[in-house]
A and B are shown apart, each in its own frame.
Chain A
Amino acid sequence: MGSDDRINDFVIKIATVNGTGSASANTLLMKSIFRSGIPVMGKNYFPSNIQGLPTWYEIRVSKDGYVARSGKVDIMVCMNAETYARDVRDVAAGGYLIYDSTWPRPALLKRDDVTVIGVPLARMCNEHFKGVRTRILMKNICYAGVLAALLDLDLERIRELLAETYAKKPALVESNMQAIQLGYDYARAHFSCPLPLRVARMDKTRGNIMIDGNTAAALGCVYAGATVAAWYPITPSTSLMDAFKSFADKLRIDPQTGKANFAFIQAEDELAAIGMVLGANWNGARSFTATSGPGVSLMGEFLGLAYYAEIPAVLFDVQRVGPSTGMPTRTQQCDVLAAAYASHGDTKHVCLYPANPEECFYMAVQAFDLAERLQTPVLVLLDLDIGMNDWMCRDLQWDDNYQPDRGKVLGKEDLEKIDKFYRYLDKDEDGITYRTFPGVHPKGAYFTRGSGHTQLGTYTEDSAEYQLVLDRLLRKFTTAKRYVPKPVIEGTGAAKAAIVSIGSCDGAVHEALDVLKARGVQLDYLRIRAFPFSEEVEKFLADHEVLYVVEQNRDAQLRSLLTLESRVEKSKLRSLLHYSGLPVSSKFIVDGVLADLGEGRRAVAGVVS
């Protein structure tokens, strides 16, 4: 082992054309590394298109378990002539460039500071496989074979993964394995294998899974007992609903009767989707939808109704790049404000900010409990990075003692005992009133409306009566602070400066904290997990002098929300804003903090990496 060896610590980026089967090859590579016990991250940067446009996949092998982008590429696999020039530029000095040597490589793109590895992938596949489509697909599997040789991946593990993937089509296992072997043998015969950058078996993935947040959230909905799912297709949230359907088709079919213990409704638009969710929740079924920014905009009016009429709802907003249609297949955290204040009038909504797929699962369940406890919509803000990329996280666990918190619901016996039921009367003085479901008891009837109403549930245009209800809703929002997930606070508590962040920034922040510490900069860390902000958040903000707010949008939306909804002094908040559409890297945060510290009190903003 030479001193240059970088075992289990490097980044591979693969440039391909979408619709050419590269996803299978990339997943194969990532999973075989994961199964070798080595922490790994895989991120897909794909176009809003089905076939023919450039796509990249980034695999980070990280013995230290970092799950974010590092901001550097060590091995670039160039399979797309269209992006070749920029792919060549992106490789770090001392890195490797793998390309298809079937055709000559333009000399002008020569780089002396990287090792170039040419493999005649197309030629080999043309010689060994028949049919245009097969040849294209196999060319991509073939580069996985080349990487297997260069990185010292276990071929048996690859075979095992192929066998699982193609359990129903054994012929495909053989042809894929043949393509792997072609690349593998060529690399072994022509280059010194393995490279100094390579993998070596570890035992750091036991008890972990690789799962995407949309799948985990969908599983959470199944476990929370959601029965009505209504939605309108929109990237990047669609796979959440697909996953729910697929789990429900397996886990929610009554074995005796064959009946489906759920309803899955593809709506005509997002307005209808949220309307159905409200109708179902109003009628006592746990119901949810998933959407993205444009959908949240469309759902605004109904969200205001749900807030004012106090109807539970769970909405997953898998954020993508805005404004407008933006870049639908790229990631951002740009709906923080839109979600918190969705709809006209004085409305605000409970929001949850999961940081990874594991938290998506648990927060999905919490979201239903909160929605019913607080009788209000709960918006769970994922983003494309969490929602659609596979993240390594701990096995999901379930406590069989869990019972759903249905909140304050009066059943038949309760109604039998009372004299008269008033829907919006604050009997417990916590801002949360009692509700009933249709068909339960004659005394439970009431009228739900989005127009002005009194605490007794009747229509009003009387100022005092209107204000009584509106003020009580604000008290309810204060009560919500006690129920929402507490923030995660890390560090010694002694540092004067800290990082404040939400959601998917978490992985990059953790790595940045370690890097900064190694450079002598010790920071505390507050990861906010919910809006409204709890007392723990307030205290942390008060206890620190400088707060670097890391978030993935242009307008510092989390910072804005903090200045509006917490007691923090505005001047303490410094923004580190990443909004390129790619997930934030640890390097971006390190550079941002160091630049700010180096240049005194100047706020750092808008640097794109």
Chain B
Amino acid sequence: MTFIPKPKISHPSLPRNELGLTRRDYEGALSTLCAGCGHDSITAGIIEACWGISVRPENLVKLSGIGCSSKTTAYFVSGGHGFNSVHGRMPSIAMGANAANRDLYYIGISGDGDSLSIGLGQFCHAIRRNVNMLYIIENNGVYGLTKGQFSASADIGSKAKKGEVNQQPPIDPVLLAMNLGAGFVARSFSGDKAQLVPLIQAGLKYPGFALIDVLSPCVTFNDHEGSTKSYAFTRENYEPVVEADFVPKQREITADYAEGEAMSVMLHDGSRVLLRKLAADYDPTDAHASYDYVQQHIAQGEYLTGLLHCRPTVATEFHALNRTPEQPLNQLPFSALNPGSRQLEKLMARYR
């Protein structure tokens, strides 16, 4: 059973957002994942992020494929529209839905199996099309629902629960996304909510394809000694290299950042992402520099986290390239779509 309704009781003193909603209004059904699963922390991060930027629940489209991670769309924002599709094919559903209505928030939740094996093609092509969506990979290096097989993100030398050692090279979604031209590429850790929440907020607001690869340990099948996706390994080897703050358009930037250290990337609605570098030799707004920097560190066994790359790609966003109108396609009146009988009569001349 993966659906348990939660009782809707909330304390009157709970804080409310701009819409007058409390965090509880952004919750979903009770999770049926294993106790301690990293995915549940990410779910909590999404709830916090959506509440924080006052997303109207009915304007949130939650998409997923198949797997433990894909189940979680049921566990947040029950007032949103969920679509749990088929294995590895969530990006195409997202593309179609986004083409039909550009005005909604699209959040896709996937896993390393769903995105890097069966769905690798669709993942890549969603990036190429620059679909305006936030794509979260809940990455644990393992197939949980089928009990512990390696996934394509498993590192060489990482040990399975039963002792088998992975010998095939991993696919890193962060490097892959940068390589394919994604304009918003982040890596985070399910245990670092302070880092994750602003990343989710910025990703939802980013006008284009935004990827967050979240290391999310599988407590049942991949949290043992010798695994490179365990809580212990992640805490030791994952290092924040850039801090990102999401700044809504109404708010002034008040934090005091040293000159040259902070960079601001403007989003389409006037809100901003503020990047604060923790390393001086790193420019997260430059696609090539970001790629090289991240890759070099991986070669040294260091996994950098944060908003590793961010640059505006609004000009190549799907709707911009397709010249679709501001009004969503699913709301155009029929009269704007149907050319009428006289036009048809004229067209007939071509076929005589």
Residues on A facing B (Cβ under 8 Å): 34-35, 209-211, 219, 222-223, 225-228, 230, 251-252, 254, 257-265, 267-269, 271-285, 287, 301-302, 305, 395-400, 402-404, 437-442, 444-451, 458-461
Contacts and interface: CB of A to CB of B under 8 A. Distances in A.
Residue among A226, A271, A274, A447 with max Cβ neighbours from chain B (10 Å): A447
B15 interface: no
A583 to B, nearest CB: 20
B330 interface: yes
B95 A283 contact: no
B125 interface: yes
Given A227-B100, A439-B81, 12 more contacts: A219-B347, A263-B324, A272-B95, A275-B85, A275-B92, A279-B93, A279-B94, A282-B96, A396-B348, A439-B103, A442-B58, A448-B84
B330 A283 contact: yes
17 contacts: A222-B337, A223-B339, A225-B334, A228-B100, A265-B99, A275-B92, A279-B83, A279-B92, A280-B99, A282-B83, A285-B330, A301-B86, A438-B81, A442-B58, A459-B1, A459-B3, A461-B1
Interface stretch (B72-80, B191-199, B216-224): B72-80
A278 B89 CA distance: 11
B61 interface: yes
A271 B89 contact: yes
B25 to A, nearest CB: 10
Contact of B322 (A260, A271, A301, A402): A260
B323 A258 contact: yes
A263 B320 CA distance: 11
Contacts of A450: 84-86
Interface string B88-113: 01011111111111011000000000
B325 interface: yes
Interface string B325-352: 1100110101011111101110110011
Given A268-B125, A279-B95, A448 B83 contact: yes
A511 to B, nearest CB: 23
Contact of B93 (A226, A257, A259, A278): A278
Contacts of B104: 438-439
B334 A403 contact: yes
B57 interface: yes
Nearest to B128: A268
A168 to B, nearest CB: 15
Nearest to B124: A268
B95 A275 contact: yes
Contact of A260 (B100, B324, B326): B324
Contacts of B170: none
B176 to A, nearest CB: 15
B312 interface: no
Contacts of B326: 259
B52 interface: no
Interface residues of B, number: 64
B121 interface: yes
B227 interface: no
B92 A439 contact: no
Which of A254, A277, A280, A402 is packed against the most chain B CB atoms within 10 Å?
A280
Contact of B101 (A262, A285, A402, A442): A285
B122 interface: yes
Contact of B337 (A225, A272, A396): A225
B248 interface: no
B59 interface: yes
B67 to A, nearest CB: 12
A225 B334 CA distance: 6
Given A227-B332, A448-B84, A438 B58 contact: yes
B74 A447 contact: yes
The 4 closest A-B pairs by CB, nearest first: A279-B96, A275-B92, A285-B100, A276-B96
A459 B74 contact: yes
Contacts of B93: 275-276, 278-279, 282
Contacts of A261: 324-325, 329, 332, 336-337
B97 A395 contact: no
Contacts of B99: 228, 230, 263, 265, 276, 279-280, 285, 287
B148 interface: no
Contacts, number: 220
A439 B58 contact: yes
Contacts of A448: 81-84
A279 B97 contact: yes
A283 B106 CA distance: 12
Contact of A305 (B80, B85, B319): B85
B179 interface: no
B168 interface: no
A357 to B, nearest CB: 9
B2 interface: yes
Given A279-B94, A285-B99, A227 B81 contact: no
Contacts of B96: 228, 230, 275-283, 287
Nearest to B81: A438
Contact of B339 (A222, A301, A302, A441): A222
Contacts of B343: 251
Contacts of B61: 283, 438
Contacts of A403: 334
A440 B58 contact: yes
Contact of A396 (B60, B94, B344): B344
Given A262-B329, A461-B1, A445 B78 contact: yes
Contacts of B58: 438-442, 444-445
A283 B59 CA distance: 12
A225 to B, nearest CB: 4
Contacts of B336: 254, 261
A305 B99 CA distance: 20
A223 B79 contact: no
Contacts of B5: 458
Contacts of A280: 96-97, 99-100, 330
A257 B336 CA distance: 13
B334 A263 contact: no
Contacts of B85: 275, 278, 302, 305, 450
A451 B85 CA distance: 9
A277 B96 CA distance: 6
Contact of B84 (A272, A302, A451): A451
Given A210-B352, A276-B95, A445-B80, A223 B338 contact: yes
Given A263-B322, A437-B330, A442 B57 contact: yes
Given A225-B338, A439-B58, A446 B332 contact: no
A251 B92 CA distance: 27
Given A271-B89, A275-B92, A444-B58, A400 B100 contact: no
B175 to A, nearest CB: 20
B142 to A, nearest CB: 22
Given A228-B96, A397-B341, A439-B58, A254 B325 contact: yes
A230 B344 CA distance: 24
B92 A227 contact: no
A396 B114 CA distance: 46
Given A272-B92, A272-B125, A278-B96, A439 B324 contact: no
A34 B323 CA distance: 40
Nearest to B323: A260
A50 B351 CA distance: 25
A275 B319 CA distance: 18
A271 B1 CA distance: 29
A284 B324 CA distance: 16
Contacts of B334: 225, 403-404
